[in-house]
Chain A
Amino acid sequence: EIVLTQSPATLSLSPGERATLSCRASQSVSSYLAWYQLKPGQAPRLLIYDASNRATGIPARFSGSGSGTDFTLTISSLEPEDFAVYYCQHRTNWPAFGQGTRLEIK
């Protein structure tokens, strides 16, 4: 079983700042990693797939990088609507998610 560990658990930043979220896999998942955004009462949204590809309609301020075991989601300049919980997901063996990073307003 491949475990994804996300850090930090909570990230406190202000609008306009740069956010860097980390996702580490317990063994290599190649580039097969996705990122999702969850907001209360809303449908979760796919942001990034295959580690670095933006999903349809996702703003360019969201970017993903990494391969193997270490991955990063970067939000270049935070907008008010970006404060949410973010999850990474791999698809090796079976789909599984990290425990999430809460991005909160400082």
Chain B
Amino acid sequence: QLQLQESGPGLVKASETLSLTCTVSGGSISSSSYYWGWIRQPPGKGLEWVGSIYHAGSTWYTPSLKRRATISVDTSKNQLSLKLSSVTAADTAVYYCAIVDSNNWFDPWGQGTLVTVSS
């Protein structure tokens, strides 16, 4: 059974780059059976899809974050990563990684990690 665990710095300074990793256990991140995604939830707000990565490394991002977000896979470490550049307070959120199925449903998810952007 696949399990996902997010990790990263809990605090990032404004204008810097947020970097998160998602460690996958119970399976291989390079398996053709899986796609991978990131979703976030700002405090007191709803869920927002950040982006996803598919076979051969093709990526897809929500329009509002397309210029700042980069999702990649490190097969040697069995990890998914998210980099978000030029962060502001609006990027403060719990960030979740998840498996994306072929119909773009998310299951399962990690427990999430809170990232706070400080000024």
Residues of B within 8 A of A46 (CB): 105-108
**Within residues 68 to 88 of chain A, which ones have a CB less than 8 A from any CB in chain B?**
87
Q: Assuming the A-B contacts A95-B49, A98-B46, A99-B46, are A44 and B96 also in contact, with contact meaning beta carbons closer than 8 angstroms in the complex?
A: yes
Total A-B residue pairs with C-beta atoms closer than 8 Å? 62
Nearest B residue to A93 via CB reads B63
Please classify how large the interface on chain A is, using the bins under 10, 10 to 19, 20 to 34, 35 or more. 20 to 34
Task: Give A28 Cβ to nearest chain B Cβ, in Å.
Answer: 17
Q: Flag the segment in B76-84, B85-93, B109-117 that touches A.
A: B109-117
Q: Is the interface of B mostly helix, strand, loop or mixed?
A: strand
Q: Check A32–B49 contact: CB distance below 8 A.
A: no
Q: Check B103–A49 contact: CB distance below 8 A.
A: yes
Q: Check B105–A49 contact: CB distance below 8 A.
A: yes
- Knowing that A95-B37, A96-B49 touch, tell me 9 more A-B residue pairs with CB under 8 angstroms: A34-B106, A44-B109, A45-B108, A49-B103, A50-B103, A96-B62, A97-B39, A97-B47, A99-B46
